[in-house]
Homo-oligomer: A and B are copies of this chain.
Amino acid sequence: MTVKTALETFSAIQAKIDALDHAGGILYYDGSTVAPPASTEHRGETLGYLSELGYNLATSKETCDTVDYLLAHEDELTAEQKRNVKLFNKDREYMQSIPLEKYTAFQMLQNKASAVWHEAKQKKDYAMFAPYLQQLIDTSIEFAHYYKPDKYHYDVMLDSKETGLDVKQCDEFFDTVKSGIVPLIKKVLAKKTIDDSFLFGSFPTADQRKITDAIIDFEKLDPQRSVCGETEHPFTTNFSTEDVRITTHYYEDGFVSSMYSVAHEGGHALYELGINPAYNKTSLSGGVSMGIHECQSRFFENIICRSKAFCDFILPKLKEIFPEQLKGVTTDMYYRAINKAAPSLIRTEADELTYPLHILIRYEIEKAIMAGEVTVDELPALWNAKYKEYLGVDVPDDTRGILQDMHWSEAMFGYFPSYALGSAYGAQILSVMKKTIDVNGDIAKGDVSNISAWLHDRIWQYGSLYDPKELFENAVGAPFDPHYFIDYLTEKYTEIYNL
């Protein structure tokens, strides 16, 4: 073996694993968007077999020998090659730590649990989902122990979503955020409530699709390389820089939900579409972490699309689509309405100010689950109690409570904190970006080219080349500081509510 032949072998192995991931990903997307309900079991079996093939490829003797050889010769590799091998090896070590039959069984469990969650959410029936959730938790803990027997399993999960993150850092972050925003929320709630009634009414799906098109056009998502589907819970998925899918969900009683879902998922998609295409089929492909990813999505959703400048730009278009419903609405009315801060039930519909509390609730519940302090049967009561405590709202049913998010049905434990982290990253990015770009001026003109170029140059193009901490610090030229987020919210809501 030489470094050259080893790199060739490695590249061929990565291409095969990519093909299996691609096939599995399309099966998943198809299952979430258009597949008939009875297809679930068969899809699970196929996904199970594909994951078995992927496991065998990633852990074969040829793969191990090749990767070991490259690791032993890392001085002869470029920085990109070195990082690619190291990230691949991390995945290999993870897989090798888990017995094959458990690994594939888990793929099938996730497929099944996801289908059961869909049904349970529709039927407001947490009990039917609970046994699957139990298995997902047990297996996730079991796998974390296999992989890192010496580390606390929830730390392993947090680290897998955001390299370096652990419970201690999360606690500190949320403490800072909480101390900044809880008093702010109190002040806001003491003020007169904002009228946002015109956002609700009758908004036919066919017309809402025109808003989707407008947002996609505004964000400049390339239609050659991306599409928008419809699902119960919006998400983004990517198969290469040539194929990135977003989804949304239309509710006919209001257009804001889908509109801001598209804005959000569009941010994820821009990140994926902007990665160096040379990274396709390598471990450098894809966004580096959930926190950096949620930073992009929430930057577009909130910092851009809930700004006053964007309201100036978009309201005339909305009025073209819904002339009756939005008659007499001014930019100021619209801006205040879509930023109305109020305690609410649904995370994805929450305003920027109360949103971190929705995340905090999930983080605290995950912590309790992972510490064994709460049983699966007790979770709805705990959920409802925390919504009462932090947001003062009564949860009427589990569909609007613990069943609202898909994440746990896919064993995405440790994911939620990245939403709050991402929001906070975004505020710090904005403060730096504003030094060289007329952010609001550009947005008001419907021109995101400078903003996207900034993000592309400093973040998107690198894919997984750098750890999130290094990537972020390079981008903003300073360590992460959540106070930017508190300052951003304070300034924005002080102005809106005249505090």
Contacts and interface: CB of A to CB of B under 8 A. Distances in A.
Interface of A: 15-16, 18-20, 22-24, 26-27, 29-30, 33-39, 41-43, 45-46, 49-50, 53, 206, 222-227, 229, 239-240, 242-245, 280
A95 to B, nearest CB: 19
A224 B23 contact: no
Given A42-B243, A206-B206, 12 more contacts: A15-B49, A16-B49, A19-B45, A19-B50, A20-B49, A26-B27, A26-B30, A36-B225, A36-B244, A38-B224, A38-B225, A38-B243
Contact of A23 (B18, B46, B239): B46
Contacts of A223: 36
A206 B205 CA distance: 11
B206 A36 contact: no
Q: How many copies does the complex hold?
A: 2
Given A27-B23, A46-B23, A243 B36 contact: yes
A46 B49 CA distance: 16
Given A26-B26, A206-B206, A242-B39, A19 B46 contact: yes
A41 B206 contact: no
A37 B222 CA distance: 10
Residue picked from A18, A29, A37, most chain B C-beta under 10 Å: A37
Contacts of A29: 30
Contacts of A26: 23, 26-27, 30
Contact of A227 (B23, B35, B222): B35
Residue picked from A16, A39, A244, most chain B C-beta under 10 Å: A39
A204 B244 CA distance: 29
Contacts of A42: 22, 239-240, 242-243, 280
Contacts of A206: 206
Q: Interface SS of chain A: helix, strand, loop or mixed? A: helix
A225 B45 CA distance: 17
Nearest to A241: B38
B242 A34 contact: no
Contact of A239 (B22, B39, B225, B229): B39
Contact of A243 (B18, B39, B244): B39
Contacts of A222: 38
A50 B33 CA distance: 23
Nearest to A244: B36
Contacts of A229: 34
A33 B230 CA distance: 14
A39 to B, nearest CB: 4
A46 B27 contact: no
A224 B46 contact: no
A41 B227 contact: no
Contacts of A49: 15-16, 19-20
A283 to B, nearest CB: 17
A45 B280 CA distance: 13
A24 B243 CA distance: 17
Contacts of A39: 225, 239-240, 242-243
